Amino acid sequence: MSPPDRLLKGIGVSPGIAMGPTVTVRWALPEVPHRVVPRTQVEKEVRRLRAALKDVRGQLSELRARAEDRAGVDEARIFDAQLLMLEDKEFIGGVAELIRENHFTAEKAFEFKTLEVRDLWTAAGNPLLKERLADLTGVAIRVIQHLMHRRGGADVWESLSEPSILVARELSPGLTVQLDRAHVVGLISEEGTRTSHAAILAHSIGIPAIFGLRGAVARIRSGTKAILDGTRGTVLLDPTPAEIEEAQGRDTRRRELSTRLEEAVAQESVTLDGVHIALRGNVDLPDEVAAAKVHGAEGVGLLRTEFLITGHSELPSEDEQAKYFQHVGEAFAGHPVVIRTYDLGGDKFPAPFRGSPEANPFLGWRAIRVCLDEPEMFRTQIRAVLRAAVTANLHLMIPLVTRLDEVERTLEMMQEEAARLEQEGIAAAKSVPLGVMVETPAAAVLADRLVEVSDFLSVGTNDLTQYTLVVDRGNARLADRFTPHDPSVLRLLKFVAEAARSAGKPASVCGEMASEPLSAFLLLGLGYDTLSVAPPALPFIKWLIRQVTTAQARAAADAALAARSAELALDILRFALAEAVDLTLLDPDARLPAGRRSGSLKL
Ligand code: PEP
Ligand code: MG
């Protein structure tokens, strides 16, 4: 077979490289013979069902404990979904009814009901239900095997003569948590995605895995030698000695990089010439607070607040918001947390505000415009921030600013609300630093004026690029035109940094580009000393910062600014960074694992 035929691609769900022979496991519903029981045996059959359910509950509770041991408390909860299915009155009642009315055996009735629910969930087209299909199948296999006195698939690998890669149509969490790395070095599943329960467990246990590899069972003969790369999401069959050597080298480089990144978490974020660069985390959802902390964030540079509204039918209360802001603030004691006021509109329009559709929503009623037009909602958010700021170092930041009066109006509202809170005898800060998000060309060219009426600037390069280049950031067709390294965007970035420096006020970048190595290097050179990045990218950006000098970054940024195109600017940066950092450690096909909007290792 030629290399393209030997290289299969799926979704890398757990990083790392594994090599070995493959072994196919059939973790599927067993064939259940169609048998009916005499009327007199029906109640006995229902009792047999109940006894099986009780035993399987016991098995699952053991697996749950094992998962807690091996993967963690959160991961162990995965088994709760399966335990709940066993207690679902409607489902179990339906199985018992099939036994009583159709005289099915318990195993046939369970199979029948499972297939009925599976069809229903598949047809519903709801991605959440689809994700839970593996749980349903997992429970059904266990119950049916138990009723048929069959042994589970879990013992397949115990008889393996050498460490192997399991190939299955679908992997259940129960099967995955029992895996032993001495026997099983990698996993391939036809079904599933990054968020499948089995994928989460494989990641926690540290077994490289690829899911969603269509036709894997038919295409990979049991016993075939393979190299699985869970970071790239590829499987190479029958590798040549040269391919094995190359994969081993890749593995060594990755491990070395990973050791350096682990070390970076506890190290200071400082350039070789001693300049401290504040590295903060971008937090969209509450669960990213922990990720940002674990990865060593010095506070939060962009706390998105839209999740408080989207998906809810009512606006969040002042108390609810104050509690959340206080929680995040306290998690980063000693460091600032920058709360961005609601950035509604564009593609994020929650039910309470859904008005008539606009022809151009990204040029429409968005962000600070909505907030100023809906003062009650805006004031509630401001009051929540002021109250939470009693115990935490909170800053407020407004999105999509295009005019000075938007900042002035916000400042007035903050002062009015502070006075009102004082009158009401409610503990609250008198004010918090107010920042402007520079994410429109208007704000960028007005940066010197905006910085006079605010306390700091933070550049949102996602929108700044979109509006400067007139390229919809979500349009896949225009993806190669969405280039924050375009000469026009670079000039704006430089202008904003200089405006802030002249005014003696801080400027940071919180757009996605700050999470990418070449761009982070460029931003240092343009004069930004604070970057707010996706939590998984924090160690990587810090590792890079610690190997460069500000003089190198400045020289590279000056050269990039003079480039005629984004491609040339990137070439210049790549070349300059390679002088300072061992870029051979980076895998050009890999992305940083895990986490929303994780940074790219790509150069
Ligand atoms: C940006 O526009 O760069 C930004 C950080 O904000 P968002 O991605 O939430 O629009
Ligand atoms: Mg934005």
3-28+153-239 adopts what CATH topology?
A: Glucose Oxidase; domain 1 (3.50.30)
d(CA 181, CA 262): 22
CA 399 to ligand 1 centroid distance, Å: 8
Atom index in ligand 1 nearest the CA of residue 511 equals: 3
Q: 197, 295, 395, 485: which one is catalytic?
A: 197
CA 56 to ligand 1 centroid distance, Å: 48
Residue to mutate, 510, 519, 597, ligand 1, most ligand atoms under 8 Å from C-beta: 510
For residue 30, the surrounding DSSP H or E stretch is none
Q: Give one word for 227, left, alpha or beta, with left for phi > 0 and alpha for psi -120 to 50.
A: beta
Residue 335 among the catalytic residues: no
The alpha helices in 389-477, defined as continuous H runs, are 404-423, 441-445, 447-450, 461-469
Tell me which residue has its CA closest to atom 8 in ligand 1: 462
Residue 371 among the catalytic residues: no
- Segments of the chain assigned to CATH 1.10.274.10: 39-147
Residue environment code for 519-542, b if the CB has 16+ CB neighbours within 10 A, otherwise e: bbbbbbbbbbbbbbbbbbbbbbbb
Atom index in ligand 1 nearest the CA of residue 399 equals: 6
CA 322 to ligand 1 centroid distance, Å: 23
Residue to mutate, 462, 468, 532, ligand 1, most ligand atoms under 8 Å from C-beta: 462
Spans of the chain below 70 pLDDT: 1-4, 151-159, 347, 349-355, 587-603
| The pLDDT of residue 593 | 41
Atom index in ligand 1 nearest the CA of residue 306 equals: 9
Ligand 1 contacts CB of residue 462 (under 6 A): yes
d(CA 230, CA 452): 50
| The pLDDT of residue 129 | 77
Ligand 1 contacts CB of residue 306 (under 6 A): no
| The pLDDT of residue 153 | 54
CA 390 to chain centre: 31
39-147 adopts what CATH topology?
A: Enzyme I; Chain A, domain 2 (1.10.274)
| The pLDDT of residue 1 | 58
Tokens of 130: 């689809």
Q: Which residue has the tokens 């061992």?
A: 582
Tell me which residue has its CA closest to atom 10 in ligand 1: 463
CA 267 to ligand 1 centroid distance, Å: 28
CA 361 to ligand 2 centroid distance, Å: 14
d(CA 410, CA 340): 12
- Segments of the chain assigned to CATH 3.20.20.60: 261-547
Residue environment code for 325-356, b if the CB has 16+ CB neighbours within 10 A, otherwise e: bbebbebbeebbbbbbbbbbbbebbbeebeee
261-547 adopts what CATH topology?
A: TIM Barrel (3.20.20)
CA 459 to ligand 1 centroid distance, Å: 9
Ligand 1 contacts CB of residue 463 (under 6 A): yes
Tell me which residue has its CA closest to atom 3 in ligand 1: 460
DSSP structure class, residue 36: B
Residue 271 CB partners (closer than 8 Å, separation 6+): 277, 524, 545, 546, 548, 549, 550, 553
Ligand 1 contacts CB of residue 343 (under 6 A): yes
